[in-house]
Amino acid sequence: MVLLEVRNVVKSFGGLRALQDVSLSVAKGEIRAVIGPNGAGKSTFFNVMTGLLKPDSGDVVFEGEPITGMPPHRIIRKGIGRSFQITNIFPRMSVFENVQVALFSHHRTGNNPLSLARKSTRVGEEALALLDQVGLAEKYDSSASVLSHGDQKRLEIAISLASRPKLLMLDEPTAGMSRFESRETVALLQRISREQGLTLIFTEHDMDIVFAISEKIMVLQQGAVIADGTPAEIKANPEVRKAYLGEEITES
């Protein structure tokens, strides 16, 4: 079943065409990588899909419903979660509160100004369960700003998961992590995807990770799709080799 369908998206900044006629189709439960050299348009593509940017033309369809040009907060409500390349958390709130506030938003309890936040036990238990899932349950009381980089990334994943997304979009989930942290994070993502049938779309520079976990890979170059297929197909694709991957493929 197709979960997300992107059709012929075009986006320019001034004279620069950041995305030229990009199309993508992602099935439910799939793990899909979007790769490409720096400036290939990966972040722009993510921003278009999550409503931060409005495409010049083309459609984004999620579960059969067009979401093109909707503001981020409405797109999130449709079931698309997002984590960012730069760690994007609420720094001066506790780890627990970071997830709690995401749950308030998901359950729409944030609209009630007269109930008490700490009295909401259901949200509290859910928050702890989510923190447990990413391995941060013990640190629930510390300020998010003092966490290590890897922990902050994991916290961000917990925040994104709080809105129970059907599709999670991760912009370089392992950026800036040590090798050990990266491996842990990747294992975590794979596990969550498997357990919950969560669809993942992610960008990544580390090719080992890309080929280890993705089921399909899309390659962008200068805003255009130059290849889209299984890891094996991508490895064999001469254009990809020439344009981008080259030695890295031959090495592995």
Partner 1 sequence: MDLSFLTVQVLSALRQAAFLFLISSGLTLIFGVLNILNFAHGALYMLGAYFVYALTLHLTGPAGFLIAILAAPLGVALIATVIETGLLRRIYMQEEIYQLLLTYALVLIIDDLAKIVFGPEFKSIPMPGMLSGSVTLFGGTVPVYTLLVVVLAPAVALILWYLLYRTKTGKVVRATSSDREMADALGINMSALFTLVFAFGAVLAGLGGALAGPVRTVFPGVGTEVIIESFVVVVIGGLGNLWGALIGSILIGSLETIGIIVFPEFEMSLIYLLMVAVLVVRPWGLFGRPLKVKALSEKNLAMEAQEISPVHFSVHPLVRWAPLLLLLLVPLFAGRFYQYLLTQIFIASLMAIAFNLLLGTTGLLSFGQAAFFGVGAYTVGLLLTKGGFGTLPALLLAPVVTAVVAGVIGFFCVRLSGVHFAMLTLAFGQLIFTVAYKWYGLTGGDNGIQGIPVKTIPLGGLGALDLGSNRAMYYFVLAVVWLSVELLRRFRSSPFGATLKAIRENGQRASFLGVNIHLYRWTAFVVAGAFTGLAGGLFAMMEKSISPEIIHWSKSSEPVFMTIIGGIYTFAGPAVGAVVYVILNSYLVAWTEKWALVLGLVLLTLVLLLPGGVVGFVNEKARQTLGKLRCIRKWSFSKSATS
Q: How many residues does the chain have?
A: 252
Among 11, 32, 106, 235, binds partner 1 (CB under 8 A): 106
Q: Do 189 and 173 contact (CB within 8 A), yes or no?
A: yes
Regarding 97 and contact with partner 1 (CB under 8 A), the answer is yes
Among 43, 47, 68, 120, binds partner 1 (CB under 8 A): 120
Regarding 162 and contact with partner 1 (CB under 8 A), the answer is yes
Regarding 192 and contact with partner 1 (CB under 8 A), the answer is no
Closest CB to partner 1 among 159 and 213?
Answer: 159
Where residue 105 falls (left for φ over 0; alpha for ψ -120 to 50; beta otherwise) is alpha
Among 105, 190, 196, 222, binds partner 1 (CB under 8 A): 105
Regarding 146 and contact with partner 1 (CB under 8 A), the answer is yes
Regarding 65 and contact with partner 1 (CB under 8 A), the answer is no
177, 179, 185, 188: CA torsion to nearest 10: -170
Beta strand residue intervals within the chain, DSSP E: 2-13, 16-27, 31-35, 57-62, 65-66, 80-83, 167-171, 199-203, 216-221, 224-229
Regarding 143 and contact with partner 1 (CB under 8 A), the answer is yes
Cβ of residue 163: shortest distance to partner 1, in angstroms? 6
Hunting for tokens 């980089």 — which residue is that? 149
Q: Crossing angle of helices 121-133/149-162, nearest 10°?
A: 130
Closest CB to partner 1 among 15 and 113?
Answer: 113
Beta strand residue intervals within 78-174, DSSP E: 80-83, 167-171
Among 65, 141, 195, 251, binds partner 1 (CB under 8 A): 141
Regarding 237 and contact with partner 1 (CB under 8 A), the answer is no
**How many CB atoms are closer than 10 A to CB 216?**
20
Per CB under 8 A, residues contacting partner 1 are 50, 71-74, 76-77, 81-82, 84, 86-94, 97, 100-102, 104-106, 109-118, 120, 123, 141, 143, 145-146, 149, 152, 159-160, 162-163, 176
